Amino acid sequence: MKNVLYVGNALSSKGRTTTSIENLGTRLTEFCSIKIASDKSNKILRLLDMMLLVIVNRKHTDFILIDTYSTTNFYYALVVSQLSRLFKIKYIPILHGGNLERRLKRNPKMSRLIFKYAYVLVSPSNFLRNTFKNYGFNNVEYIPNSIEIENFEFQNRDIETIKLLWVRSFAEIYNPEMAVLVQEGVLEEGYKAELTMVGPESDGSLEKTKLMVKNKGLDVNFTGKLSRQEWVNLSKACNIFINTTNYDNAPVSVIEAMALGLPIVSTNVGGLPFLISNDVDGLLVKANDVEAMVKAIVKLKKNKTLKDKLVANAREKVEQFNWKIVKQKWETLLT
């Protein structure tokens, strides 16, 4: 059994969204010995915890997995990757976030230090795999985000009252205020429309969104952070999933919604067109185009045949993301 260190933001116990390190890290224990860092809220302490994990375990580690984002975590990846090189340990950046290309453009030297010397780069989407190959990084392997499909009961919902569901952290890049404008737009078209927004505060966007709702006199159900099972249970009362993000890669919440039978209306950004084929297993609209998203929602309500086709195709697609299938790719890479 290989010894693997996994470095990333394991902050769900601090009220943040559960991330790859906690989901994938748990699943990898089926065939690897896994140690993870870090669950420290303070960013400096988190980095020190990551470094300590590598230093203490340097003599008995086969691989280091590094969740790599375009935000502050990029610098964690830089430091940990260079420690890995110092101790001659194979390291594998896992590419997350649809905005990583910004780092390749703005920080080319740092990017090369991280990515050039990696054992392999793992991308959960063909979008980032293609992006990195365009910048000369050819050692990219596509391993999709996974779900345990048996935990997601497919339900083909009728759409009478439009009941919208939005699931993300409240962060500016995910554009939560657009969801409120979309609900308002559907109401202005003369349809009844409810909106439930699930997720924790991240950068002040939750309060901004609540203020918008208050100023517009709308009624939105803000649940705060929910466990996966809690929001899956809540989703049974909803009938359309909306994704309003400005940047994205291969969001697990969208994959899970596809598995549940919720028709998807998403902005056409980042990795989303690699996950969703427009008019085949979901509907895509331009970023920030509230009018187009409203029209797509109304289209789903009016056209049951289309809606039924989209949800059936979406479920069939995400069955390929089942952990039992994806596991084989990780086993091949790490054992």
Residues 6+ apart with CB under 8 A from 208: 177
The answer to whether position 66 is within a domain reads yes
Query: Position 47: which residue type?
Result: L
The answer to whether position 315 is within a domain reads yes
- pLDDT number for residue 335: 85
Q: Same structural domain for residues 156 and 132?
A: no
Interior angle at CA 157, CA 152 and CA 160, nearest 5: 150
Determine the average pLDDT of the residues in 211-237: 94
DSSP 116: T
Query: Strand 63-68 vs strand 283-285: parallel, antiparallel, or unpaired?
Result: unpaired
- pLDDT number for residue 70: 85
Q: Same structural domain for residues 72 and 181?
A: no
Distance CA 325, CA 145 (A): 11
Q: Same structural domain for residues 71 and 174?
A: no
Query: What 3 state SS string does 223-237 have?
Result: EECCCHHHHHHHHCC
Show which of 92, 117, 143 is a domain's final residue. Answer: 143
- pLDDT number for residue 13: 66
Q: Per residue in 126-150, pLDDT tens?
A: 999 999 999 999 999 999 999 999 9
Distance CA 35, CA 136 (A): 31
Where is pLDDT greater, at 216 or 250?
216
Give the percent of the chain with pLDDT over 70: 98
Task: Tell me the DSSP string of 41-66.
Answer: SSHHHHHHHHHHHHHHTGGG-SEEEE
Mean pLDDT in the chain?
A: 94
Q: Same structural domain for residues 243 and 280?
A: yes
Show which of 119, 143, 167 is a domain's final residue. Answer: 143
- pLDDT number for residue 212: 97
Q: Per residue in 247-297, pLDDT tens?
A: 888 889 999 999 999 999 999 998 999 999 999 999 999 999 999 999 999
Q: Same structural domain for residues 74 and 128?
A: yes
Expressed as residue numbers, the domain containing 192 is 149-320
- pLDDT number for residue 247: 87
Q: Same structural domain for residues 158 and 40?
A: no
- pLDDT number for residue 10: 79
Q: Same structural domain for residues 178 and 310?
A: yes
Q: Same structural domain for residues 118 and 259?
A: no
Distance CA 314, CA 260 (A): 9
Determine the average pLDDT of the residues in 3-24: 80
Q: Per residue in 153-204, pLDDT tens?
A: 999 999 999 999 999 999 999 999 999 999 999 999 999 999 999 999 988 9
With a cut of 80, say whether residue 54 has pLDDT above it: yes
The answer to whether position 104 is within a domain reads yes
Residues 6+ apart with CB under 8 A from 130: none
- pLDDT number for residue 17: 67
With a cut of 80, say whether residue 98 has pLDDT above it: no
With a cut of 70, say whether residue 16 has pLDDT above it: no
The kind and range of the H/E element at 267 are: strand 264-267
Q: Same structural domain for residues 72 and 116?
A: yes
The answer to whether position 332 is within a domain reads no
> Torsions phi, psi of 34, nearest 5?
-115, 135
Q: Same structural domain for residues 105 and 251?
A: no
The answer to whether position 254 is within a domain reads yes
The answer to whether position 328 is within a domain reads no
Show which of 143, 158, 190 is a domain's final residue. Answer: 143
Task: Tell me the DSSP string of 141-200.
Answer: EE----B-GGGS-------SSEEEEEES-B-GGG-HHHHHHHHHHHHHTT--EEEEEE--
First to last CA, the chain: 7
Determine the average pLDDT of the residues in 4-10: 91
From the list 68, 67, 57, 6, the residue with the least C-alpha distance to 32 is 6
From the list 184, 250, 182, 238, the residue with the least C-alpha distance to 216 is 184
Domain CATH code at residue 78? 3.40.50.2000
The answer to whether position 96 is within a domain reads yes
- pLDDT number for residue 109: 95
Distance CA 123, CA 143 (A): 6
Q: Same structural domain for residues 89 and 234?
A: no
Distance CA 244, CA 246 (A): 7
- pLDDT number for residue 15: 60
Q: Same structural domain for residues 47 and 171?
A: no
Q: 12: pLDDT confidence band, cut at 50, 70 and 90?
A: low
Distance CA 102, CA 119 (A): 23
The answer to whether position 327 is within a domain reads no
From the list 290, 287, 282, the residue with the least C-alpha distance to 262 is 282
Determine the average pLDDT of the residues in 311-328: 96
- pLDDT number for residue 290: 98
Query: What tokens does 156 get?
Result: 């083909």
Number of separate domains in the chain: 2
Distance CA 277, CA 313 (A): 10
